[in-house]
Structure 1
Amino acid sequence: MLVVLSDTHRTDGTGLVGAAAEAVADADAVVHAGDFTTDAVVESLREAAGDAAFTAVHGNADSPAVTERLPTETTVEYAGIRIALTHRNRSEATGLAIFGRQQGADLVVSGHTHRPSVEELEQLTLLNPGSHADPRGAKQSFAVLEPDGDALAGELRTVDGERFATFTVNTGRE
């Protein structure tokens, strides 16, 4: 299982509670779309991920220690799906889609807005998991994706475990 997080906005600890903490503990891979705030939070989340692969980018609210350590954007592959990860690179849908296509991605993960959303475009899915720790008026949320044949079956969930959106990520490559 791939767990997707963003916008932790803490000075220490992980901010993980409930279903989010359980998902990270059970994950094969964890990606984080930035705004940890401090290096201690990056380390706490990496430790919480245990043996799971951990990939992250920095956000606009991160300290210099975090921005020096983590890239602005990166790509990773999970279960044959190419994922482009950024915090707010061209954060509107059109800009994120252009970014994703430039990276040859099937899925673009971003953060910044603290609002969970998923937009399924032709051959590309845009995902913002929201924030598991600092929702700023939105649902306290995260995303999980599970291999399903040649695709990933995804869900946006609250930390209470409520599933409020489902989606499928297919490979756009032929």
Structure 2
Amino acid sequence: MKLLILSDSHRNIQNMVQAVRLEEPDLMIHLGDHYQDAMELKRLFSDIPLEAVAGNCDFGQKPSEKLITVHKKQILLCHGHNQHVKCGLLNLEYAAREKQADIVLFGHTHRIFCEQHNQLAILNPGSIGDPRYPGRPSYGLVFIEEDSIFLQTQFLSL
């Protein structure tokens, strides 16, 4: 199962479309900022399932956090602002462990983070629409095969 992870699109629909066409995922996940971008992606690629959460720029949108199950793996989706990820990842890790998640996906910082430790896979795909560092749009991939989880980040070629 191939999951395409997008975050912080900030109205840049074209970059998301390019990533979807390039990766041909089984599931798309949008981690907020801008939630309406995710709804546009869902309209454009109605044959690919989409999960989305709202970010700090998505005033009034819900939900801001979601727990989903994919191939028997629990995945916590959040933007990260409620877990204060710009100050560190401890709150995020606690939230994931409290929900017995195998994977936690977050955004908000616009910085790539990809690590597996203590049986928890953690991924921030960076920003597909408003990259700050290193200045290139990026996205994440999660591969779930039988009992294994593989994380990867990619830069979008412009």
Answer yes or no: same fold by TM over 0.5. Answer: yes
Amino acid at match of 1:16: M
C-alpha deviation, 1:8, in angstroms: 0.6
Larger mean CA deviation between 86-95 and 108-117 belongs to 86-95
Match of 1:119 in 2: 115
TM-score of the aligned structures, taking structure 2 as reference length: 0.85
**Residue equivalent to 1:130:** 126
**Contact 2:114 2:152 (C-alpha < 8 Å) held by counterparts:** no
TM-score of the superposed pair, with normalisation by structure 1: 0.78
User: What is the CA–CA distance in structure 2 between the aligned matches of 1:2 and 1:13, rounded to whole Å?
Assistant: 18
Name the counterpart of 1:99: 95
Q: Is the 8 A contact 1:36 1:42 kept in 2?
A: yes
Q: How many residues align?
A: 152
Choose from 37, 62, 75 the match for 2:67: 75
Q: What one-letter code is carried by the residue in structure 2 that aligns with 1:134? A: D
1:145 corresponds to: 142
Partner of 1:87: 79
Partner amino acid, structure 2, of 1:3: L
CA-CA distance at 1:144 after TM superposition: 1.3
The answer to whether the aligner puts 1:29 opposite 2:27 as a matched pair is yes
The answer to whether the 8 A contact 1:4-1:129 is kept is yes
Task: Tell me the SS of whatever aligns to 1:131.
Answer: coil
Cα root mean square deviation, aligned:
2.1
2:5 counterpart residue number: 4
Please list the CA deviations of residues 59-102 of structure 1 after superposition, one character each: whole Å capped at 9, or x if unmatched: 001143xx1xx301001112222100111132221111101011
